[in-house]
Structure 1
C-alpha cells in the first residue's frame, strides 16, 4: 500500500508519495517501508533515530523526525494507528506449503496443523490441538489436548504446554472514540517461547502488537495465568496460578510471582525479585527483593504492618 493511499484512508492532508508501505512497527524497530507512530510522550526520545519511512504523530512533534521521514500529522495518533492496523492484519491462512513433521513426532488424528507449519522431531501433538500458519515448533515438544497455537508462533525445544492453553491470541488493545466506542488495534506480532518452558492449563499468552511477546528459557508458568502483549518473561521465572502481567511488562530472570499477584503495564521487574501472593505492582522495581501488598512494599515491612494492625484490633 502506498503512503499516499494510507493518507487518503486516514483522512490526512494530501501527501504525494509513491513510497510503498508493507508493515507497521515501533519507532525503535521500524525500518524502510514501515510506518510507525507516537501516541505516548515517553517514546518521544525514539523519534530522532527512527528508520521508519513515515510516522503518525501530533503536528507539534513533527520537527523531531530525522530528515527523509515523512510526518503524517494526527490529533489522535493512537486512533489513526488502530484504523490503519486492519489493513496490515495477517491472513489466517497464508501458505500453500504443506506442514513439515519431524521424525518420530506423533500428531493425533483430531489435531489440526495449518500449512507452513514446521514441527521438529519426537513431538507429541494431542487431540484437539490447533497450530496456526507459519508456526515453528522445536524438538521434544508436548502439546496436550485442546492447546491452541496461533499463527507465526515460535516454540523451542523440550517445551510442555498443558490442556486449554492459548498461545498467540490477540492482546487487549483498543482505541476509544469520543463517543465511547472501541476501535480494535489489530495485533500483528507473535509469541516466542524458548527452550525448556512449561506452561500449565488454561493459561493465555497474548501475541505482540508489533514484534514479539517472549517467554525465555526455563520459565515455569502455572495454570490460569494471563500474560499480556509484548511482555518479556525472563529466564527461569516462575508465575503461580492467577497471576497476571499487563502489556509490555518485562520480568528479569528468576522472578517469582505468587498467586493472584499482578503488574500494571510498561513496567520492569528486577531479576531475582519475589512478589508475594496478591501483590499489586504499579511502578517498576529496580532493586531485587521480596515484596508484598497493595500498595506494594517490602515483605518485612508488610509483616510488621499486619502485626500492628492486629494489635490495634485487639483494643
Structure 2
C-alpha cells in the first residue's frame, strides 16, 4: 500500500513531496528507502543523517532536522501514529498448520516442512508451514510451532511449549514446559482521551546455541528487528523477557526476573530472583544484580548491585545493616 493511502486510512490528510509503496516499519538505523520510521524523543534526531528511511514520523518542532532524502511526516504524536500504522503489517502466526498425525503425508507432498534425522515428534504436536527442525530433536506432547520457525540440532522442547512464527532456535537448546516464545510484547500508544492503541509486534525472537530456558517463561518478539538470547545463557523458571531485549552470552537469569523492553546486557550477567529492569537500559559484562534489585539506569561492567533504590552491593548491605540497627533502637 502507498504511504499516502495508509495515512488517509487512519484519518491523516498530509501532502507528501514523495509517495511510495511501504515495505515495513523499521528503526532509523535499519530502515530502507521504502520503510517508515519515527522519532518520539529529540535525543534520536542525531540518527537521522545516517538513516536511509523513506519517511519519518516526527513532531513539527523537530522537523527541521530531517535531511532532504527523508520525507518528514509531521504529526503531534509520532508514537501514536506509528501504533496505528503497525496494523497494516500484522502477520498471521499459525497459518497452514499441520497436526502431528498428518506430518507423514505432509512430508510427502510439501517439502517446506523439513524434519531432520532421528528427530522424534510425539503425539499432539502442532507444526506450522515452512518449519525446519534439525537432527536428534525431541518435541513432546502439546508443543505448538508457528510458521517459518527454524530449530537446530539436539534440541529438546518440553510439553505445552508454544513457539510463535519466525522464531530461530540454535543447536543444543532446551525449552521447558509451558514456556511461550514470540508472543506480542506489551506495547501501546495512548490517545489524549486515554484509549490504548496496540502496537503490533512484527519482529522475531532468536535463541542462540546452548541456551536452556526454564518452565513458564515468556520471551516476547520484537516490535521490529529481534529479541535475542545469546549463546550459553541459562534462564530459570517464571522469567519475563520483553520485546527487543538482548541477553548477552552465558548470562544467568534466576526465577521471576523481569526485563523491560529494549533492555540489553553484556556477557556473563547474573540477575538474582525477582530482579528487574526499566526499559532501554544496558547492563555491562560480568555485572551482578542481587535478588529484588531494581535496575533503573545503565550499569558498568564488572560491578555488583542490589536494593531499591539500586546501590552498589557493598553500600546496599551497609545501608541495610544500619537500617536494622535504627529499627532495633526505636523498638528495643
TM-score range relative to shorter protein: over 0.9
Partner of 2:134: 120
Partner of 1:236: 250
Any idea what SS the aligned residue of 1:43 has? helix
1:17 Cα offset (Å) = 4.2
Matches for 1:222-233 after TM superposition, within 5 Å:
222-233=236-247
TM-score, normalised via structure 2 length: 0.92
Structure 2 residues not aligned, in runs of 5+: 97-109
Any idea what SS the aligned residue of 1:21 has? coil
1:28 Cα offset (Å) = 1.0
Matches of 2:224 and 2:311 in 1, distance apart? 33
Q: Which moved more, 1:233-242 or 1:54-63?
A: 54-63
1:279 aligns with 2:280: no
Q: 1:263-300: CA deviations, max 9, x gaps?
A: 00000001100100010011110242111101111111
1:301 Cα offset (Å) = 1.1
TM-score, normalised via structure 1 length: 0.97
Partner of 1:202: 216
Matches of 2:198 and 2:177 in 1, distance apart? 28
Q: List structure 1 segments (4+ residues) > 6 angstroms apart after TM superposition.
A: none
Partner of 2:202: 188
Q: 1:14-72: CA deviations, max 9, x gaps?
A: 33644111111001111121111111223222112110111111122222222221111
Matches of 1:300 and 1:18 in 2, distance apart? 58
Partner of 1:309: 323
1:225 Cα offset (Å) = 0.2
Matches for 1:1-315 after TM superposition, within 5 Å:
1-10=1-10, 11-15=12-16, 17-93=18-94, 98-315=112-329
Structure 1 residues not aligned, in runs of 5+: none
Any idea what SS the aligned residue of 2:227 has? strand
1:314 Cα offset (Å) = 2.6
Q: Which moved more, 1:41-50 or 1:272-281?
A: 41-50
Matches of 1:17 and 1:113 in 2, distance apart? 43
Q: 1:59-106: CA deviations, max 9, x gaps?
A: 222222222211111101111011010111112346786421111111
What is the RMSD computed on CA atoms of the aligned residues? Answer: 1.4
Q: 1:242-270: CA deviations, max 9, x gaps?
A: 01100000011000000000000000001
Matches of 1:93 and 1:52 in 2, distance apart? 30
Any idea what SS the aligned residue of 2:219 has? strand
Matches of 1:17 and 1:79 in 2, distance apart? 22
Matches of 2:154 and 2:2 in 1, distance apart? 44
* 8 Å Cα contact 2:239/2:258 also seen in 1: yes
Matches of 2:94 and 2:237 in 1, distance apart? 29
Matches of 1:27 and 1:86 in 2, distance apart? 19
Q: 1:115-165: CA deviations, max 9, x gaps?
A: 011111111011000010001110111100000000000000000000000
Q: Which moved more, 1:210-219 or 1:172-181?
A: 172-181
* 8 Å Cα contact 1:4/1:17 also seen in 2: no
1:310 Cα offset (Å) = 2.1
